[in-house]
Amino acid sequence: MQSVESPTSLDAAFHSTATRQAAATALVFDDVSYSYRALRIASERFAHALLAAGIEPGQRVVVGMTNSPELVVSILGTIAAGAILVPVNPAATADELLYIIGDCGARLAVVESAHLGVLRDATPTGLTPLDGPNLGRDCFAATLETSADRRPNAIDPRSPALIIYTSGTTGRPKGAVLSHEALTTNLLTVAEAWRWTANDRLLLTLPCFHLHGLGLGILTSLMVGSSIVLRRRFVVDEVLADLARFECTMFFGVPTMYSRLVALPDTALRTYRRQRMRLWVSGSAPLNAALFERFRERFGYELMDRYGMTECCFVLSTPYDEPRRPGMVGRPLAGVDVRLVDPDAADSGKIVDVADGSHGEILIRGSNLFSGYWQRPQETQRVMLDGYLRSGDIAVREADGMFRIVGRSSVDIIKSRGFKVGAVEIEEALQRHPAVEEVAVVGLPDPDQGERVVAAVILRRDAQVSTDQLRAHVRTLLAPHKVPADIVFVDDIPRIGPGKFKKKELIARLS
């Protein structure tokens, strides 16, 4: 695999790989294969189309498209042009899309046809909307007049590559700025830790507008020189057949995806063979112990877990060669400095390390850190402490250096009757009941208890269980003060993204 001895840009890393193995398959979509040479030429045509439209290095280009070869080309082409890529959810509402365009001051928006009318009607100042699928197809078909023989100018590795909007605990999303250096060094560090080589093939069903799908799924694959089997979306009934048919070696998912996979009927699993599969990775949300064990039981594989944030890419990972334990998200990746500190002391501007086995907030430092929130210096300063990023995540470090995430300091640590209760621990306990599909635990204000532990539960299809039965189930697993005071059956839970819940919104709804 390719290694980075000195900081480089994403474009230079991809171009080097594409030149070295031009004829190798880079992407498969709808049974059509695209070589590295085809992707390189199409992305450079895309870059020249942006330059011809007046885009200059450092200007922001919003890209909001569904999973497709055209999306991959728009990502690579925007980066090659020296512009800053701003990925957005193709299912974003008009209000969400216009907010991001206005906040980052985008000059171009490369979107699906459904959003073209919205942008033309709203006419944001200085914005040019482009039909992303048609432009991408033109780049593959070589119908653009611009030549791909002349490469755009070299890119400074320290310059911004991406602005990814991340939902905070309050207010509108903020744009986290990530440099080329931060991304290339961190993503290739992950690849080295996972023994990722050009011989690998990833089945990618994640949406590709965040770091999980875009960073790990697309960018790392194409820098390493492996291949991607890209799907429009996750369809549980198709996954096992795709893994076997395309001889995939890796699959990346969120816990909800793995929950769907373990729920497949026995008849579906009879056709499952491990084939070349060597790596199933879970991320973006806590992986509960019950799901870990259930997946191992049904698929004969221990899921690899990892931890990261938009503001610092990927931080912790399960060691490749060591036994994997449920609930553990691993140790710090090479080049990433992680400390576990007293959050109350951190609130006072002091770093006080906590002992192994104690709850503490994760602090992160290294070349993987973001450059700050776009045009929000005060917000950036608020999350930094002596050069470390305050994650807001509470964890426990075991004696062997492995980390276990307990929850978010803001919403996942519930202070009830004098106890600090971890919401994730209760969620894992409830998830072990066979009737429970998904669950989110929060604390609601209570005049007597301080905060009352409340669980919102989505039941599996056709399952029946009472709240008393669920509470009795939790009592067999956890101390009495951790048993939810209330359990509410719901049809849906508000979400930030795949596998992540909007707990502030859930608190307001339950209140």
At 360-377, the pLDDT tens digits run: 999 999 999 999 999 999
For residue 236, the model assigns a pLDDT of: 93
Q: Are 199 and 249 in contact (CB under 8 A)?
A: yes
What's the CA gap between 204 and 73, in Å, rounded? 16
Q: How far apart are the first and last CA of the chain?
A: 52
477 in Cβ contact with 432 (< 8 Å): yes
CATH classification code of 413-510: 3.30.300.30
Residue 217 amino acid letter:
G
Query: Predicted confidence band at 296 (pLDDT cuts at 50, 70, 90)?
Result: very high
pTM over cut 0.95:
no
Least confident of 159-168, 412-421, 455-464, 474-483: 412-421
Res. 480: pLDDT tops 50: yes
SS3 annotation, 6-58: CCCCHHHHHHHHHHHCCCCEEEEECCEEEEHHHHHHHHHHHHHHHHHCCCCCC
Q: Residue ranges of the domains in the chain?
A: 10-196, 275-369+379-408, 413-510
Whole-number CA gyration radius for the chain:
23
pLDDT grade for 499, boundaries at 50, 70 and 90: low
pLDDT at 111: 94
Closest by CA to 17, choosing from 187, 141, 132, is: 187
CATH class of 10-196: alpha beta
200 pLDDT band, cuts 50/70/90, is: very high
What's the whole-number mean pLDDT along residues 399-403? 95
- Name 11's Cβ contacts closer than 8 Å, sequence gap at least 6: 76, 79, 80, 152, 155, 180
At 144 the pLDDT is 53
CA 35/CA 28 separation, integer angstroms: 9
pLDDT of residue 167: 64
Beta carbons of 229 and 26 less than 8 angstroms apart: no
For domain 275-369+379-408, the question of CATH label 2.30.38.10 is answered with yes
- Each residue of 5-60: pLDDT tens digit? 566 899 999 999 999 999 999 999 999 999 999 999 999 999 999 999 999 999 99
Q: What is the pLDDT of residue 1?
A: 46
What CA–CA distance (Å, rounded) separates 202 from 229?
Answer: 6
Predicted pLDDT of residue 459: 95
Question: What pLDDT does 509 receive?
Answer: 92
